[in-house]
Amino acid sequence: MSGITYEKHNKKSFAVHGDKSKYASLIKSIGGRWNSRLKSGEGWTVPIERENDLKTKSHKFHSIP
């Protein structure tokens, strides 16, 4: 998987997926928390209000509609 992807997880957060070792510090810096039991596969949950940070921190992020 190149880069990371995110999708709406629920009304409060996004589910973010990607290489844990490569992106952990970046995702943590915007309030992300690792969750190995997401329905869509292991990844981070990031507060919905941090979407702009997801978009601006890296051009490698891609939203899943």
For tokens 């990844």, the residue is 43
Q: Cα 22 to chain center, whole Å?
A: 12
Type and span of the H or E element at 46: strand 43-47
- Supply the pTM of this predicted model: 0.80
Other Cβ atoms less than 10 A from the Cβ of 25: the count is 9
Q: Return the pLDDT at 1.
A: 37
Q: Would you state the torsion angle of the CA atoms of residues 30, 38, 13, 3, taken in this order, to the nearest 10 degrees?
A: 50
What is the mean pLDDT, run by run of 10 residues, along the chain of 65 residues?
80 93 91 95 96 74 52
